Amino acid sequence: MRLKRIYIILLLFSCACLQACKDYLDLVPDNVPTLENAFRNRIEAEKYLYTCYSYLPSHHTANGNVGLLGADEFWTPTFSTYDPWQIAKGFQNVNDPYMNFWEGTRGASALYKGIRDCNIFLENVSNRENVIDLNEAMRRRWLGEVMFLKAYYHFYLFRMYGPIVIADNNLAITAPRDDFKQKRAPVDSVVNYISRLLDSAAVNLPGEITDRTTELGRVTRPAALSLKAKVLVTAASPLFNGNPDYVNFRDKDGTHLFNPAYSAAKWELAAEACKEAIEMCEENGARLYSFATFYNLNDTTKRQMSIRNSVSERWNSELIWGLSGRQVSDLQGDLLARIDQRYPTNIWGPRERLTPTLEIANLFYSDRGIPINEDPNWKYSTRYSIATASRKDRFNIIEGYETARFNFDREPRYYANIAFDGGIWYMENGNGDKSDVNTFTVRAKKGQAQAQVGAYNYSVTGLWAKKLVNWKLVVTESSYRTETFPWPEIRLADLYLLYAEALNEAGRGDEAILWIDKVRERAGLQGVKYSWSNYSTNKNKFASKAGLRDIIQQERGIELAFEGHRFWDLRRWKIADRVLNQGIHGWNIDQEGAVGYYRPRLLFTQQFVAPRDYLWPLRQLDLSINTNLVQNPGW
């Protein structure tokens, strides 16, 4: 009778009706008549395991990753209809919310359905009378994987909605109707629940994947501990830690859904979790990625390839958790410029629909490793004036080409991540001998090779993102071929910077700087103390908690650019209302001359309403159906 009731729940919520696909972790169980069959043997149960993975958000697509288009890093032509972009433009609403992960609409996965599937799996596989051909070690591992996924889905909802319904167990279909009207749990309760679930998952997970031919992308103990670190850093951040905006946010019984008191201890817990995660990752071979090749490349290009390929090289040493069922393919076409002049009119391969904004380009440091507005040598006030590239610039800018001073004397991550008019774009097939001499270039003024062609596919900002384009991509006459790579959900540089943030907030700034410097060293920069002391107009910035906080936040914005983190960081830091209430700018792309082209053009003025826009709205209809739910403030 118990299995029958669960099966009815499964039918009601369509938990096993997802379309199967070829990606390893997107497999879905066959249509089976009973759950007894689903957990009859290892083969059938493994299909159900893959179902639990299949709810992972589509971070490998522009329309499935709110972090890519929901803030200010990317902009797109006005005809675009991406759901996350509507959030960036301030069009979120309560009637049919964009990226509605609560229910799985408007570009979002149905995460509560995913959690229900996880619960079904855990209940059935925990029963040793089921899946009798499954050995005990593999049973524990599978249970650990699904506990991790259940925790991740709760975290994803928490990060969006704040207080959420904790779905620890599925209700029987025969339960009283009122039992289905679950209340939202307070933020601290949600965080504690997710943290405990990850602890339980971690002890059952392997330290690393040994069967790399079939199991890459399945979760490990380093992934579980890293996710716990991210959860606790998020919980310690200003949005969730003593936020005065939510002091009166209560459920209908009067229970506070946010703890109104700030807790410094939360940062200590976060720092300890980060330390434990880093030790586990490094113990199992994780290292900051460094590019190696037999090709004849100069040190400048090699440095850029270390930065680019830390994201786009498959299963590299830095990747802690890559989503193997979310291979980055079509997104590469959305980002690529028409740099191969053998096919200059191919707008269906290089589609150029997602392009970086000048706001994010301004974020990158000068070549001395400090903000461009703090470097007196960089001449911030004349950054839009014109200069001509000399021979010393030739691996970053076309020698003899006129471009904005804005593009000169920037740090290596600027040239690794962003392509611009006059820039070099190294790709493996850029020339016959694979060298970085006479490789692909970008000339984007009106009438030039990479200028707008047609009404639809073009860079609306005059910039392109190299970072998420694999260096082995090859443009063909009407399409492109590329080496796909798993979406980098968690990588080591992210974890290092989370640890630095937690240490600084816990009053351990000197320790924090050590971890920032590890990331900066790979980027070819001097350490924080050296760079600010010797070059910045704000020489002692790193010496205070507030000053180092600014440095860490900018460092995360640069190092993790275009990876979907900035959207969430701006919110948890509670600075989105300042950053996202400004104009979005690009170059004046319809101009032929350099002076006209390098006149920043306003594309859109964002409106972020605080505190409303810090949290997602629940759909209004859901509030009518479940009268125990309360809406987020401002909606």
Better pLDDT: 122 or 214? 122
CATH of the domain at 293: 1.25.40.390
Q: Give the start-end residues of each E strand in 143-227.
A: none
Clarify whether residues 275 and 338 are in a common domain.
no
Clarify whether residues 300 and 282 are in a common domain.
no
- Per-residue pLDDT averaged across 124-137, rounded? 96
pTM over 0.85: yes
pLDDT at 342: 85
Tell whether 130 is covered by a domain: yes
pLDDT bin (cut points 50, 70, 90) of residue 174 is confident
Clarify whether residues 291 and 235 are in a common domain.
no
Express each pLDDT in 297-320 by its tens digit: 999 999 999 999 999 999 999 999
- Per-residue pLDDT averaged across 338-365, rounded? 90
- Per-residue pLDDT averaged across 516-520, rounded? 98
β-pair partners for 135: none
Q: How many domains does the chain have?
A: 2
Residue 558 has pLDDT above 60, yes or no: yes
Nearest to 601 by CA among 459, 394, 390, 442: 459
Instruction: Give the domain extent around 32.
Output: 2-56+109-286
Tell me what percent of the chain is helix, strand and coil, each rounded to the nearest 5.
40, 10, 50
Return the percentage of the chain with pLDDT > 70, whole number.
95
Tell whether 89 is covered by a domain: no
Tally of CB atoms within 10 A around 604: 16
Residues in the chain, total:
635
pLDDT at 24: 38
pLDDT at 454: 79
Residue whose tokens read 């949600």? 190
Tell whether 139 is covered by a domain: yes
**SS3 state at 398:** coil
Give the angle 411-414-418 at the CA atoms, nearest 5°.
165
Clarify whether residues 266 and 303 are in a common domain.
no
Burial 36-65 (b: 16+ CB within 10 A, else e): eebbbebebbbbbbbbbbbbbbbbbbbbbb
Residue whose tokens read 């980060």? 274
Tell whether 282 is covered by a domain: yes
Tell whether 333 is covered by a domain: yes
Task: Decide: 385 and 368 in contact? Cβ < 8 Å.
Answer: no
Express each pLDDT in 607-619 by its tens digit: 999 999 999 999 9
Query: Which residues, including other chains, have CB under 8 Å from residue 240's CB and lie 6 or more apart?
Result: 162, 187, 191, 234, 258, 572
pLDDT bin (cut points 50, 70, 90) of residue 457 is confident
Task: Decide: 430 and 440 in contact? Cβ < 8 Å.
Answer: yes
Task: Decide: 576 and 565 in contact? Cβ < 8 Å.
Answer: no
Alpha-carbon dihedral sign for residues 605, 606, 607, 611: negative
Query: Which residues, including other chains, have CB under 8 Å from residue 310's CB and lie 6 or more apart?
Result: 288, 289, 316, 318, 491, 493, 522
Cα–Cα distance for residue pair 67/563, rounded to 1 Å: 7
Query: Which of 225, 255, 286 finishes a domain?
Result: 286
Express each pLDDT in 191-248 by its tens digit: 999 999 999 999 999 999 999 889 999 999 999 999 999 999 999 999 999 999 999 9
Tell whether 93 is covered by a domain: no
Clarify whether residues 275 and 322 are in a common domain.
no
Cα–Cα distance for residue pair 450/440, rounded to 1 Å: 11
Tokens standing for residue 623: 């509030």
Residue 103 has pLDDT above 90, yes or no: yes
pLDDT at 346: 78
pLDDT bin (cut points 50, 70, 90) of residue 34 is low
Query: Which of 251, 286, 321 finishes a domain?
Result: 286
Query: Which of 260, 286, 312 finishes a domain?
Result: 286
Clarify whether residues 215 and 134 are in a common domain.
yes
Which pairing describes strands 402-404 and 418-420: parallel, antiparallel, or unpaired?
unpaired
Express each pLDDT in 111-121 by its tens digit: 999 999 999 99
